Structure 1
Amino acid sequence: MFKRFFDQKAKLERKYQQLLKESYELSHSDRKLSDLKTAQAHEVREQLEAIETKR
């Protein structure tokens, strides 16, 4: 049970970091896509917070 929790959390954290990186890179060329990636990262962060709250 705990292994599944940590695997899911680690996966979401990697996805969050990747989305932030993509957002930053896009901020130099396409602000609209950058904002979209930031919004997606925010959604992933909310999922992480929900998982941490369940613990």
Structure 2
Amino acid sequence: MLSFLRKDPTKKLQKSYEAILEKAMLAQRSGDIKTYSLLTEEAEKVRAQIEAIQAEQVQH
């Protein structure tokens, strides 16, 4: 009924995902490939969470 008042649960995760990817890009540019790999992996986990939430929303 008042679904427009609910906060989007993916909004916070999306910002986190983008921040992690930016850190990963900066690590890659500085030549720190190990940190780049770790941050990319972390970003992929966040992206998977976002996709799971979105899939759940579609089902309802």
Give the TM bin, normalised by the shorter chain.
0.7 to 0.9
Identical columns (%): 30
Unmatched segments (≥5 aa) in structure 1: none
Quick check: 1:25 aligned with 2:26?
Answer: yes
Normalising by structure 1, report the TM-score: 0.87
Q: What residue identity is the alignment partner of 2:18?
A: Q
Unmatched segments (≥5 aa) in structure 2: none
Quick check: 1:38 aligned with 2:40?
Answer: yes
Instruction: Give the total of aligned pairs.
Output: 53
Give the root-mean-square deviation of aligned CA atoms.
1.4
Secondary structure in 2 matching 1:20: helix
| 4+ runs deviating over 2 angstroms | none
